[in-house]
């Protein structure tokens, strides 16, 4: 075999070995989708329910997004449920846009909630818009919608509480939009 051909093959093999990256990605954490994090604990989110308060015309109205760790069928069914993680916020707009919303005045986030006889009861309240002096009141909020189609919504959210604690999360998936 030609010595130059052997050298060329050896050079190509060395370049291929050097350019390959390790398959070990354990040191790099994947971004968690369909979950929110508070105080180092991650809470999974399974479903989204979107409600537009004004479907009669194009006047701005409240559009609310509710996220749960249960399916929309479980949430809208008549069964009693427990251990519910819940994220709720709304904003005024005519439609959901691919943009960042920073005027979020209505919001609630809780864990360990229940539904009994069709009534939701929050468990541990992590965020609440009722008392501006409370630690669980948000001093700032951002919701960034990156995709909204007929079948899918993708967004991130971050709320900073009065006590400095941050609740952040994301959702990318199907949604239920009742008529």
pLDDT one digit per residue (tens) for the chain, 179 residues: 544 433 433 333 333 333 444 444 433 334 458 999 999 999 999 999 999 887 677 777 789 999 999 998 898 888 899 999 999 999 888 889 999 999 999 999 999 999 998 899 999 999 999 999 999 999 999 999 999 999 999 999 999 999 999 999 999 999 998 87
**What is the reported pLDDT for 32?**
56
**Rounded CA separation 53/91 (Å):** 11
User: Would you say 167 and 109 are in contact if contact means Cβ atoms under 8 Å apart?
Assistant: yes
Give CA 173 to chain center in angstroms: 9
User: Would you say 36 and 155 are in contact if contact means Cβ atoms under 8 Å apart?
Assistant: no
DSSP letter for each residue of 136-161: TSEEEEEEEEEEE-SSEEEEEEEEEE
> To the nearest 10°, the Cα dihedral for 127, 131, 133, 137?
20
Exposure string for 9-48, b = 16+ CB within 10 A, e = fewer: eeeeeeeeeeeeeeeeeeeeeeeeebbbebeeeebebbbb
User: Strand order of the sheet with strand 41-44?
Assistant: 41-44, 35-38, 166-174, 152-161, 138-148, 100-101
Q: Please give the helix or strand (H or E) that residue 106 lies within, else none.
A: strand 106-116
**What is the reported pLDDT for 14?**
36
**Rounded CA separation 145/171 (Å):** 10
* Stated pTM of the model: 0.79
**What is the reported pLDDT for 24?**
40
């Amino acid at each position: 075999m030609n010595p130059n051909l052997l050298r060329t093959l050896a050079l190509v093999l060395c370049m291929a070995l050097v350019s390959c990256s390790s398959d070990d990605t354990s040191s790099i954490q994947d971004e968690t989708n369909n979950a929110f994090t508070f105080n180092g604990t991650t809470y999974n989110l399974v479903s989204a329910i979107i409600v537009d308060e004004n479907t009669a015309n194009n006047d701005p109205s409240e559009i609310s997004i509710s996220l749960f760790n249960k399916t929309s069928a479980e949430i809208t069914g008549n069964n009693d449920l427990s251990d519910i993680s819940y994220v709720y916020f709304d904003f005024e707009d005519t439609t959901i846009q691919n943009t960042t919303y920073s005027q979020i005045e209505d919001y609630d986030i809780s864990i360990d909630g229940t539904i009994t006889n069709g009534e939701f009861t929050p468990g541990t309240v992590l965020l609440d818009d009722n008392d501006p002096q409370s630690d669980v009141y948000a001093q700032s909020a951002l919701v960034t919608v990156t995709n909204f189609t007929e079948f899918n919504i993708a967004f991130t959210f971050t709320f900073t509480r009065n006590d400095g604690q941050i609740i952040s999360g994301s959702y990318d998936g199907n949604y239920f939009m009742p008529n």
